[in-house]
Amino acid sequence: MTNVEAVRTTLHDALARDERVLIMGEDVGARGNVFLITKGFLEEFGAERVVDTPLAEASIVGVAIGMAMEGLRPIAEIQFADFIYPAFNQIVGEAAKTRYRSNGDYTCPLVIRTPYGGGVRGALSHSVSIEALFYHVPGLTILAPSTPADIKGLLNAAIECPDPVLFLEHKKTYRSVKGEVPSGYYTIPIGKADVKKAGTQLTVVSYGYNLHQALEAANRLEGEGVSVEVIDLRSIRPMDKGAILASVRKTRKLLIIHEDNKFGGIGAEISAMVAEEALFELDAPIRRLAGPDVPAMGYAQPLEEEFMTSTDEMVEAMRELAKF
């Protein structure tokens, strides 16, 4: 099963399992989503549970918040993460604060799904990574699974979560990543990272499309006798600090790889956390590979490739850090 098939199957099963679940967003009904994820859902579940909305992201999330507070389980889709900015106040100012501001009288069981990231020649308005814009916000869970099995388990967990979840799907992995998916209903606990590859000389923490590149780079280096441990973060907030610290204390070296801009990115938080809690257990400076500090990813292939970290660059960074 591919990543996009895992999203589609999990959404379909959620609609079939629980009448409180509904999907709303631009083109999710008659069009079946821009990636055809919800194709056929309108005919099967009806217009009250598969809701085509106007091009108005603030109202999509705002209406979904009201539905969630009144007992439904809305799954709001932002067609591309680049379009989420109009809904920023609804997500940060309303959804994330619902439980706190109502002293626990109301919760907001809302899932906001959106494809993010580059690598598909999406250019200026279809390539952004948004995780760093939201992970500063208490009350908001952010998930970014990388494999079909993790997508199913974490999307089910997100739908069950009583508080708002921002569910990020890297569009480059939609059809390029395949994997086995357990049958039947299951969830994966939110906030748990996964060691995708065990190693002893160096820890790499990543997620999304970069995770797959990091695994390829680590496998290449095995031929050189370099043992790299690769951790898939999966949950950006809450973050599995325990898994990161345990790995770093074993390997004593840390490389963080993400596609979002380097300045103020997830890597900065991980780096600060490890520096605070395990600095004197390190044998080398912490290193980050991330997107450059430019406003957007270009359309031209050389510009896109310049923005995105290549697998060869990861191999070289891992090799250098292992030798340090």
Give the model's pLDDT for residue 123. 84
- DSSP letter assigned to residue 41: H
> By C-alpha distance, which of 119, 123, 130, 122 is closest to 78?
130
Give the model's pLDDT for residue 124. 84
> By C-alpha distance, which of 252, 250, 243 is closest to 284?
252
Distance of CA 224 to the CA centre of its chain: 32
Give the model's pLDDT for residue 27. 97
Give the model's pLDDT for residue 196. 98
CA dihedral 287, 293, 294, 296 (to 10 degrees): 70
Whether 126 is catalytic is yes
For 242, phi then psi, to 5°, come to -60, -45
Order across the sheet with 287-291: list the strands: 194-197, 228-232, 202-206, 254-261, 287-291
Give the model's pLDDT for residue 125. 86
- Over its length of 324 residues, how does the chain's per-residue pLDDT go in tens digits? 999 999 999 999 999 999 999 999 999 999 999 999 999 999 999 999 999 999 999 999 999 999 999 999 999 999 999 999 999 999 999 999 999 999 999 999 999 999 999 999 888 889 999 999 999 999 999 999 999 999 999 999 999 999 999 999 999 999 999 999 999 999 999 999 999 999 999 999 999 999 999 999 999 999 999 999 999 999 999 999 999 999 999 999 999 999 999 999 999 999 999 999 999 999 999 999 999 999 999 899 999 999 999 999 999 999 999 999
Query: What is the rounded CA–CA span in Å between residue 23 and residue 41?
Result: 9
Active-site annotation holder among 12, 126, 170, 258: 126
